[in-house]
A = this chain, B = another copy of it.
Amino acid sequence: MRLRDVGEFGLIDQIEALAASVTGDRVKLGIGDDAALVRVRAGEELVVTSDAHVESVHFRWRDESARRIGRQALVANLSDLAAMGARPAGFTLSLAAPPRLEVRVVLDMVRGMLSAGVPLLGGNVTRARETSLHITALGTVRSGRALLRSAARPGDRLLVTGQLGAAAWARRRAAGSGRLRHRSEARIEAGRALAGLPGRGACIDVSDGFVADLQHLLDASGVGAHVDFSALPRPRGFSASCRRLRVRPERLLLAGGEDYELLFTVRPQAASATRLAARLGVPVTELGTISAGPPRIHWRSLPGGIEPKLAGSGWRHF
């Protein structure tokens, strides 16, 4: 069964049936009207973010399942909510797809999204030459509590959750050889805990790549950073595997992208990395310090032979 066989509204009906399995206490009205209705409360701010997953740019059908494609498209958005310290309330999906696409594939992508447990509020489906998923996620945060990229100060300590390079590593290993299974998760609970932490500074999620996202944080805060390369947390067996794959591990660590870890700063007197890890419920690694001066990364123990542009590359869309 292809999209052209069921038509726009036939497809929407099937998506609506799936979406009914995930509800939220904020959702007053979901799919089926001109717009969705979300309850809002006093003392809260609404957090809104949009992101896209495009065929042959962000995913390839032969690398991974439709379910994973859908899930990762949503995770990219939820990760932006996490980086603001927000609680997800729901999301909308604007789907563009060629008429020849199997309905089953679309529904599997939607199932992948819904597996994150966040309600689908509505959206749109339209014809296009290639498949793309445009998601807007909504969340809420207590007024004044949102984590900003611009809140780093000289003297802050720089930390990151989880590991870096894991998503790019998994993608390299799966390329051509079969199905990509690595699942990045959005650090929702960690972000919410961080938003309530005394001595919190700035926060961003590592979506484009460590260097690119750190650079965004530095630009927004108008500060520099001293970073110890050897401290960057990497998955077990990473370096040896990279050698076998003939890829420089530094490339994946610095510019891998899609890890969706939280890169954040805390004031000097804030809790230790160990205590932060307990509080946030995830591994936390200390990487360096924030300094006054132009928004540049000053590396310690960076291996030789790394191309200078890796320090400013990350993911370029055009």
Contact = CB atoms under 8 A, between A and B. Distances in A.
A interface secondary structure, majority: strand
A146 B94 CA distance: 23
Interface in A17-43: 28-29, 32-42
Given A40-B41, A40-B140, A129-B130, 16 more contacts: A4-B318, A32-B220, A34-B80, A34-B84, A35-B47, A35-B80, A36-B49, A37-B46, A38-B45, A39-B46, A48-B136, A50-B122, A52-B126, A57-B128, A94-B134, A124-B134
Contacts of A94: 50-52, 94, 134, 136
Q: How many copies, total?
A: 2
Interface residues of A, number: 72
Nearest to A89: B46
Interface of A: 3-4, 6-8, 11, 28-29, 32-42, 44-52, 54, 57-58, 80-81, 83-84, 86, 90, 92-94, 96, 99, 121-130, 132, 134, 136-141, 143, 146, 148-150, 203-205, 220, 316-318
Most B C-beta atoms less than 10 A away, residue of A57, A86, A134:
A134
A92 B38 contact: no
B318 A99 contact: yes
Given A50-B122, A132-B128, A204 B34 contact: yes
B134 A7 contact: no
